[in-house]
Structure 1
Amino acid sequence: MKIAIVKYNAGNIQSVLYALERIGCTASVTDDFEEIKNADKVIFPGVGEASSAMRYLHERNLDKLIKSLTQPVLGICLGMQLMCKHSEEGDAECLNIFDEEVKQFKSKEYKVPQIGWNNIYDLQNTPLFEGVKEESYIYLVHGFYAAIGGHTIAKTNYIQPYSTALHRNNFYGVQFHPEKSADVGEQILRNFIFKI
């Protein structure tokens, strides 16, 4: 099985590679059109800033490529946010795969960004969550969130409820870091690689 991790101007790719190795998979980190297009599974991870990441994708036509993919695609953290229609972070027009808006957390009582463990609930019936229980704990680091909408398949509550996972056709997105979410995250990665 060919797994491609989209290489772009965003960090945290190494930990995704290690997580895939733990479940017996190897992946190539690439921005090569043909390699991404011909992969069986594509992972679009990232930690960074939305507008500069979108600029990088646009300059290399990777934005058009990602939208055109027909195989299963998993966006992680910033990757998921970039698959939404717009982000308040740098007022970025995003890929518009998911119809949800990405907004900034605003609170005087809670720390922003949210860093640490929180739970996931209202899990929809999808192969991505096979073997994952309601209220399972996942690891998050983010100051922006995707609003709840028609593509929401799981929620987390921090300041207010938000989309912690999205799904449309062959595209999946998770706000949390499965590669840092212990057994639950490993199960979700296994499901994406082997069951979708």
Structure 2
Amino acid sequence: MIAIINTGCANINSVRFAFERLGVNPEVIRDPAQLGQFDRAILPGVGHASVAMKRLRDQGWDQAIADYQKPLMGICLGMQLLCEQTEEGHVECLGRIPGKVRHLETGQLTSPHMGWNTLSEVKTHPLTQGLNRDDQVYFVHSFAHSCNANTLVASEYGTRFSAVVAKDNYAGMQFHPEKSAKVGAKLLNNFLNWQL
């Protein structure tokens, strides 16, 4: 059973529909006490990091996520919230994945980074099975995790940044797998099959 965490900071329907297309019926949960009942969980997110972190803390999700020992994946802002801290609002985040989220230095390119982009580096991991360099996924973001040892997949837009990260039972995807066609479906399926 898979849970989609609803903190009020995401449009969760597209994520739910993406899993339903894979033959899985996730349950949307609003109570942190429910989290431990599920085999895996998704933390989606859109909007401003400081607002989202306040909601996570106010609702008790920070502790529930820290205590969770099964696969949990953040998507877009959800991935950034799993990291240590972010320059967006200069807030401390959940600290589950080492590294900082910084403003994406796009140079002469348009900000935010929005649209399809190529993956430039892919490490071997259960979450990246079947993924190739030059596969394309759909991004919408202005902040990004700086690449480090926890980066499984990198991409470039003005500068190199983490597209997929993982540490222990926590993972994150900066792009939107639910909007990334066959490549996104493959990645969501990998998450469903991820065994710790």
Q: TM-score normalised to the size of structure 1?
A: 0.96
What is the SS of the residue equivalent to 1:110?
Answer: coil
* Cα distance in 2 between the residues matched to 1:164 and 1:8: 23
* Cα distance in 1 between the residues matched to 2:15 and 2:56: 20
What is the SS of the residue equivalent to 2:137?
Answer: strand
Over residues 79-125 of structure 1, what are the superposed CA-to-partner deviations in whole Å (9 max), with x where a residue is unaligned? 00000111111111101111111111234511110000001132111
Query: Post-superposition shift, 1:195?
Result: 3.7
What is the SS of the residue equivalent to 2:156?
Answer: strand
Contact 2:106/2:159 (8 A) holds in 1: no
* Cα distance in 2 between the residues matched to 1:145 and 1:177: 14
* Cα distance in 2 between the residues matched to 1:13 and 1:157: 27
Query: Post-superposition shift, 1:9?
Result: 2.8
* Cα distance in 2 between the residues matched to 1:3 and 1:151: 24
Give the aligned residue type for 2:69.
Answer: T
* Cα distance in 2 between the residues matched to 1:43 and 1:75: 6
Percent identical across equivalent pairs?
A: 37
- Residue 32 of structure 1 aligns with which residue? 31
1:142 aligns with 2:137: no
* Cα distance in 1 between the residues matched to 2:162 and 2:27: 29
Contact 1:16/1:179 (8 A) holds in 2: yes
1:12-27 residue pairs with structure 2 within 5 A?
12-27=11-26
Query: Post-superposition shift, 1:150?
Result: 1.8
- Cα 1:96–1:23 shift into 2, 3 Å: same
The alignment covers a number of residue pairs equal to: 195
Q: CA RMSD in A?
A: 1.1
- Residue 161 of structure 2 aligns with which residue? 162
1:29-108 residue pairs with structure 2 within 5 A?
29-108=28-107
Contact 2:106/2:157 (8 A) holds in 1: no
Unmatched runs of 5 consecutive residues or more in structure 2 = none
Contact 1:31/1:62 (8 A) holds in 2: no
Give the aligned residue type for 1:16.
Answer: V
Contact 1:167/1:173 (8 A) holds in 2: yes
Contact 2:32/2:60 (8 A) holds in 1: no
Contact 1:151/1:167 (8 A) holds in 2: yes
Over residues 50-100 of structure 1, what are the superposed CA-to-partner deviations in whole Å (9 max), with x where a residue is unaligned? 000000010111011111110101110000000011111111110111111
